[in-house]
Structures are given as structure tokens and as C-alpha cells.
Amino acid sequence: MRLTTKGRYAVTAMLDLALHHAQEPIALADIARRQGISLSYLEQLFARLRKQGLVDSARGPGGGYRLGRPPAEISIANVIQAVDEKVDATRCGGKMNCQGEERCLTHDLWSGLSDQIHEFLDAISLAQLVEKRDGKNGAARQTGSIQFYPSAPDKMAKTKAALGL
Amino acid sequence: MRLTTKGRYAVTAMLDLALHHAQEPIALADIARRQGISLSYLEQLFARLRKQGLVDSARGPGGGYRLGRPPAEISIANVIQAVDEKVDATRCGGKMNCQGEERCLTHDLWSGLSDQIHEFLDAISLAQLVEKRDGKNGAARQTGSIQFYPSAPDKMAKTKAALGL
DNA sequence: TCTATTGTTGATAAAATTAGTCAGGTATAG
DNA sequence: CTATACCTGACTAATTTTATCAACAATAGA
């Protein structure tokens, strides 16, 4: 799991879409203007988001993009993975041909952590982020009260367990 | 909070050090060989880690690096922040001069999430990762039972609260 | 004490990867 | 038709990673 500006742009754009969910399709040009991201870069990102089914597109005048499924069913991890093609984190692909005991050991530790991060981000949906701030007006950062991904209770349990709770 | 290969290398190297904690200093050449990271890159990373006091260095034959403080007192977030100089995540530095309502809105959502990720990683120490696999031999990834950062119980509570628990 | 060895430190630059731009094409509503 | 907005692929810029080099520090052994 990697977390770069690319993923941040994608999440930001998807949040923008989620805020206009169930309305007319949103043109990328609007998102570009609102979020301060270049149109051409957005086009590149949305090509991938579309391939993953995270968004639907409509061409022509009045066209644009819509969320491919309800915001509650799109996790942050979904979005990031769609645009940030995964790099073989361990560099020994599934800890084979990984010579030396020490190496596999640290690689195991890292990939364990990496899994935790992934589960963490997979437990947060677009809907949650949006709902969260509907309660408080604009004070989204002070009080962090993020709920778990509701449509995947099994993952929630898993993440809770992972946190030792 | 950014999560790139650079941070991964740093964490991997620090884990390697943690595994040899309280022994002789470890030469970077050893880590480079064991973890498959270029020596020169490690030298650059460790220059930063040293400046942050996360490691101590010893020169001369038999020299190398040691952890700067007990592994239980070094969080993953510490390591990543030391090498990955922070990028202004919102691009409107603290949500000022952020024209347009929509923009600040999504930026708030993002920075809230970003804070969560940071707290999450700050709640995991090197010691925990190492201890974790001491129980199970090599099966570190299947059962994720990461404990919270023991020397910072306040942060643990904060993270728990952030998760809505 | 002198010297060879091992290893750090810092600067600089090349190679490789990633991020972002640009110029054109395609579909569609009016 | 035509204006809008998606789509695609080639291109450039920026960053990350590796490599090279020149000093410097500490130690072991003669």
C-alpha cells in the first residue's frame, strides 16, 4: 500500500464526486477547478478509476462522471489501489527466492504492517468521510470520529481484531 | 503523511537494527546486503535518521549504527517522518487562501483522514512489530494482532477514540 | 607511534521511475 | 453541424534511487 500525491488526488476527486452523488454527471473540468488539480492529470486518473468500475462516464455535452456504486461501498483503499499500481512491496514477490533468514524476517514484519494499513483504509468509505462532516460544520479535523465501513462488517471485525480490541 | 518506498526502506532498515538491538553496532553494508537496499541510499537515509536522534553512529572498524532509543519508543510514524519530508498535503497550507467552499470541504476531509493514518502509524512501535513475530515463528502476516504503542497510552486512547470505539 | 583497514560523512551526478502535460481523437446532445 | 466533454497515447518535467568520489575517524597490529 502506497500513499502518494496521486492517491490523494484520486481520493479528493472521488470525495468531490461523492458530495454530488445522485445528481447530474460532474465534468472533470469542474473538479479540476474546484480542487486545483490539472484537467489532464484528472483524465489520466479517471481512466483507471473507470476501468475499476469506481466511476461511470457519460460523453457529450452535459456529460461527466458519476460514482460507479454507492459511496458507502467505495473504500479509500479501493480508490488508492485503482490509481497507484502496486509495487512489489517486498521485492522478493511473496517471500520466495528471498535469500538469507534476516531478510525474510524483516520483509514479513513489513508486509504485516502493510496489511494493517490496507485494512485500515479499506475500513473507511467515501460515505463515512462525507457523513462525518455533515454533523459538524467544517470542523472535520478536530474531532476524529470515523466510523467503520458499514457494508463490510467482517472487515470491521478484522480491523478491530488487528488493533487488539 | 506520505507512504513511499523511501519510508519503507527506512522502516525495513530500522527493523533490521531493532532485531540486533543491544548488540554491537551494525554496519550499513550488512543491512544493505541483508535487505537488498543500495548502500549509498541507506547512507542518505541514515543521515536523516541520525539527525532526528533515531539512531546513533559509531565510526571506525567494528563501527556502525545502533538504535538511538529503545525500540518500544520508536514509532513507525517517527521513522517515516524522519526520511519523508512532509509535503503540504492540502496545497493550501492549513486551509487558508483556499478559495471556494467545495475545495476546503474536500481538503478538510482529506486532512482528517491523513491525521488518522498518522495516528495509526504512531501507535505502532518497532518493538511491537518485532515482539509480534517472536510469538509465532514466521507467520507474522496471517494473524494481525498488533498492540498499541505502550509508552504512549494517551495516543492509544486518542487513536481508539478516532476509530469510534 | 605509525600505518593499514574498516567504516562514516557529505557532495555530486547518472540512471530509473513517477508525476504531470499536451495534442489530438471520439461520442453525443441540441 | 457544432460545442461539449470524454478518451488515448506520446511527450516532458520532476522526483527518487543508485552510483561515484573524496575526505575523515577510529581502531588493530606492528
Q: Tens of pLDDT along A104-152?
A: 778 888 888 888 889 999 999 999 998 876 654 433 333 333 444 343 4
Q: Are A76 and B113 within 8 A, CB to CB?
A: yes
pLDDT per residue as tens digits for the range B64-116: 899 999 999 999 999 999 998 765 555 554 444 555 677 777 888 888 888 88
B36 beta carbon to strand C: under 7 Å: no
Q: Whole-structure pTM over 0.85, yes or no?
A: no
Q: Looking at residue B89, what is its pLDDT? A: 52
Dihedrals φ, ψ of B3, to 5°? -135, 95
Task: Looking at A38-152, list the stretches that DSSP marks H as alpha helix, in order from N- to C-terminal side.
Answer: 39-51, 76-83, 101-122, 126-135
End-to-end CA distance of chain A: 23
Question: In this structure, which amino acid lies at residue B9?
Answer: Y
Which residues, at least 6 apart from B120, have a Cβ–Cβ distance to it below 8 Å? A116, A117, A120, B159
The CA–C1' separation of B127 and C3, in angstroms, is: 42
pLDDT per residue as tens digits for the range A9-56: 999 999 999 998 777 899 999 999 999 899 999 999 999 999 999 999
Give me the residues of A, 3-32, that contact B with CB < 8 A: 3-5, 8, 11-12, 15-16, 19
Q: How confident is the model at residue A89 (pLDDT cuts 50, 70, 90)?
A: low
What does the alpha-carbon distance between residue A149 and residue A75 come to, in Å, rounded to a whole number? Answer: 7
- pLDDT surpasses 80 at A85: no
Pick the residue with more confidence: B29 or A132? B29
Q: Are B87 and B94 within 8 A, CB to CB?
A: no
Which residues, at least 6 apart from A35, have a Cβ–Cβ distance to it below 8 Å? A9, A12, A13, A16, B102, B103, B106
Give 3-state DSSP helix, strand, coil % of chain B, rounded to 5. Answer: 55, 5, 40
The CA–C1' separation of A130 and C15, in angstroms, is: 43
Stretch B42-52: mean pLDDT, rounded? 90
